[in-house]
Amino acid sequence: MRAPRVVITGLGGVTPIGIGAAAIWESACAGRSGIGPITVFDATNQLCRIAGEVRGFEPGRYMPPKHLKRMDDFARYAVAASVMAVEDAALPITQDNSRRIGVLLGNNNGGARTIFRTVTGFNQGGPSSVSPFYITAITTNMGSSQVAIRLQVRGPNFTIGNACASGLNAVGEAWRYVREGTCDAVIAGGTDALIDPTEVAGFANSRAVTLRNDEPERASRPFDRDRDGFVLSEGAAMLIVESLAHAQARGAPHIYAEIVGYATGSEAFHIAAPLPDGIGVAACMQAALESADIRAEDVQYVNAHATSTPLGDVNESQGIKLAFGAHAARVAVSATKSMTGHLIGASGALETLVTAKTLETGIITPTINLDHPDEGCDLDYVPHTARRADVRYAVTNSFGFGGANASLVLRRWEG
């Protein structure tokens, strides 16, 4: 029996470059950076004083006020992005169909911001200062659980914690759920809200983030010779992953793209460094292409993980060349994180959103701040300016600490 075709029918997001898919896409096409000075806490004494913060977010538009008080920002972002995606897809959720709709959410650290505030308050005020809603605010599954509660979704509900691959894993596993017939539709994506003093200090002390504090909009510069670390960001992106038959039967107003392949795995090598020479990257991409039953030569675009770290960007470039061979020189590669920074558990979902829009519109978003390409980064990275292109197949990558790898293959919707 042939597996069901799986499509993306709805998009939603809360990000540093915009709230809502339309705003996100407009900023991405314009090459607009969402990076600025940290304002959510006093970062004066921090080594790193810049981040990609969400601005202008009004959570009360998406959930009841009484629920807001019980949530950390990571859950608020996820709920808002999910409401947007469901509305965009015009997906009806009823008592009759709610058990056929799932929620899969990638998340890295749960309620990190609430943990910091609570521990700080505890040190000053003791046990009585701790909110009775503290535990349920910080638990990692509360993002997906709050989405289910808000939207009354009763199907499978899971949180995937796989470092920076979490969001893409959620979308890929949603594809599997739909193909296997477990669900008719899945609300899938990722969320994280890690801009707090200890997270920022930890990333800075491990030399993972850039310290380019004086020029935040130019700080994230994937593939550039002067890159010196990623920019920590926050937000959520959610997609409606749905069987084609279900989408057509209910008259879905829009199909953005079709998901045709997915692979994930572990490099089993190091807690932070990738396998040398792009070997792990290539293996994951090749497995995704095999899953899609296409050749490397069929792909026109790669949305790269590309975090702006000295080691990672070269390694991914090497992996693309290993996976695609001579065809790598003909593939457009771009880095969404050059504009958004690194949303950690949400990054893969956001980049899937951008890739789906690329397939829909034929516009490849740029890699900004790529002034002087590193000698080890010698592919076509679509520098500075968006480009029109005939893109039928695209791959989006996510790679995380501990050797977590994921690649997703999407195809332009052609009916």
Active-site residue identified among 164, 183, 284, 377: 164
**Amino acid type, 27:** S
Pick from 293, 294, 287, 296: nearest CA to 262: 287
Q: Bridge partners of 301?
A: 332, 394
305 catalytically annotated = yes
Per-residue pLDDT tens digits for 14-64: 999 999 999 999 999 999 999 999 999 999 999 999 999 999 999 999 999
Query: Where are any strands of DSSP class E within 174-277?
Result: 185-192, 235-243, 257-266
For the chain, give the percent of residues with pLDDT over 90.
98
Query: Would you state the pLDDT for residue 132?
Result: 95
Instruction: Give the 3-state secondary structure of residue 352.
Output: helix
**Active-site residue 67, yes or no?**
no
Q: Is 342 a catalytic residue?
A: yes
Cβ-contact 163, 264 below 8 angstroms: no
Tokens 């959410």: give the residue. Answer: 105
- pLDDT for the residue 2: 83
One-letter amino acid at 352 equals T
Give the CA-trace dihedral at 54, 59, 61, 64, to 10 degrees: 170
Burial of 70 (0-12, 13-18, 19+ CB in 10 A): middle
Would the pLDDT of 412 be above 80? yes
Average predicted confidence (pLDDT) for the chain: 98
Nearest Cα to Cα of residue 370 among 380, 359, 361, 360: 380
**pLDDT in the model for residue 192:** 98
pLDDT band at 105 (very low <50, low <70, confident <90, very high): very high
Which residue from 184, 170, 178 is spatially nearest to 260, judged by alpha carbons?
178
Work out the end-to-end distance of the chain between its first and last CA atoms, rounded to an integer number of angstroms.
Answer: 21
Domains for the chain: give ranges and CATH numbers: 6-250 (3.40.47.10), 262-412 (3.40.47.10)
DSSP state string for 96-164:
TTGGGEEEEEEESSSSHHHHHHHHHHHHHH-GGGS-TTHHHHH-TTHHHHHHHHHHT--S-EEEE-BTB
The beta-strand segments (E) located in 290-392 are 301-303, 332-334, 363-364, 387-388
| DSSP reduced 3-state for 373 | strand
Question: 29, 183, 305, 377: which is the annotated catalytic residue?
Answer: 305
CA gap 354, 339 in Å, rounded: 12
The answer to whether 295 and 289 are in contact (CB under 8 A) is yes
